[in-house]
Structure 1
Amino acid sequence: MTEGINVAGIYVDDQDAALAFYVDKLGFKVHTDVRNGTYRWLTIQHPDQPSFQLGLFAPGPPVHDEASAQTLRAMVAKGAMPPLVLTVADCRARYAEWKAKGVEFTQEPVERYGSIDAGFRDPAGNGWKMIQAAKEAS
């Protein structure tokens, strides 16, 4: 058995909207979507990274009381959570593709230190940095 981190999660206010965003706009695939009463375990995977899952979790029971869940939803909506980072082969091309699909970008592609990056948000407010790595010197 291989040991390591298998799932990391983010909070979303609407799991159905998050699922549509990540699958239909960004091209992720559903890994697990199961319910236990009102609780829903929903994970997705990047098609090029099948060993890692991103959980799309709704704040609330059984993990949080309603006051805590409300605070978490507000913090995510304000963009206060740490950004996630996605590496891409061509930042400008992916920016154009996803912008045409309605992804809300907070920063157009910018070249810095030899790499190119752009910023976007998911429907809940989670911030992402999309980075095209610098080309290696030959």
Structure 2
Amino acid sequence: MNIAISASFLPHDDGEAALAFYRDKLGFELRKDVSFNGLRWLTVGPPDQPQTSIVLTPPGADPGITDDERRMISEMMAKGTYAALLLATKDVDATFEKLQATDIDIVQEPTDQPYGIRDFAVRDPAGNLLRIQQA
């Protein structure tokens, strides 16, 4: 079998803030911008990896989710406990320096983890945790 990751989903609660983060700060390209019933989905991804995308979705857009569940999702997003993503870069320290120069929310500076990975952590505008590790 040869199975590849096509897309991963992360919630967003502000399309413009999400674009400013993923496109303008991380350097991803905007691939799709879809609106439906007052909600907005954004698809972004690294320019050199057209086969891999992140779909930024409205939280709780699934019609089967109750209002209580939507509130819970919003509360978890606000705390940064709802979603996470691992990214990789060839130079963690240089990437950290570049991102630190912006108004990005730094959670952890570059650290040599006990499990053998050097990484750092940031939060996107919706509160999603992104760990960026040495490739």
Q: Which interval holds the TM-score relative to the shorter structure?
A: 0.7 to 0.9
Aligned-partner Cα distance in 1 for 2:49–2:100: 23
Between Structure 1 and Structure 2, whose CA radius of gyration is higher? 1
Structure 1 partner of 2:131: 129
Whole-angstrom CA distance in 2 between matches of 1:3 and 1:114: 26
Q: 1:76-96 deviations in whole A, cap 9, x for unaligned?
A: 121213421110000010000
Deviation at 1:48, TM superposition (A): 2.5
**What stretches of structure 2 of length at least 5 have no aligned partner?**
none
Query: What is the TM-score normalised by the length of structure 1?
Result: 0.84
Query: Relative to structure 2, which stretch is displaced further, 19-28 or 59-68?
Result: 59-68
Residue 22 of structure 1 aligns with an amino acid whose one-letter code is: Y
Partner residue in 2 for 1:42:
42
Check if 1:11 corresponds to 2:11: yes
One-letter amino acid of the structure 2 residue matched with residue 52 of structure 1? T
SS of 1:9's partner is strand
Measured at CA, do residues 107 and 79 of structure 1 come closer, stay the same or move farther in structure 2, by a change above 3 Å? same
Paired residue secondary structure (1:123): coil
Percent identity, aligned pairs only, is 38
1:93 maps to 94
Other-structure match for 2:56: 56
Cα distance 1:38–1:3, how it changes in 2: closer, same or farther (>3 A)?
farther
Q: CA RMSD in A?
A: 2.0
Cα displacement string for residues 58-112 of structure 1 (whole angstroms, at most 9, x for unaligned residues): 1244533433222111111212134211100000100000010111111110123
For the residues of structure 2 that align with 1:118 and 1:41, how far apart are their CA atoms? 27
What residue in structure 2 maps to residue 81 of structure 1?
82
2:31 matched residue in structure 1: 31
Q: What is the rounded CA distance, in whole Å, between the counterparts of 1:106 and 1:29 in structure 2?
A: 24
Q: Measure, in 2, the Cα distance between the counterparts of 1:3 and 1:109.
A: 31
Shift of the alpha carbon at 1:37? 2.6
Q: Which runs of 5+ in 1 are unaligned?
A: 134-138
Question: Structure 1 pair 114/4, CA: closer, same or farther in 2 (3 Å)?
Answer: closer
Question: How far apart, in 1, do the equivalents of 2:23 and 2:31 lie?
Answer: 11
Work out whether 1:71 is the aligned partner of 2:38: no
Report the secondary structure of 1:97's partner residue. Answer: helix
Q: Could you tell me which residue of structure 2 aligns to residue 105 of structure 1?
A: 106
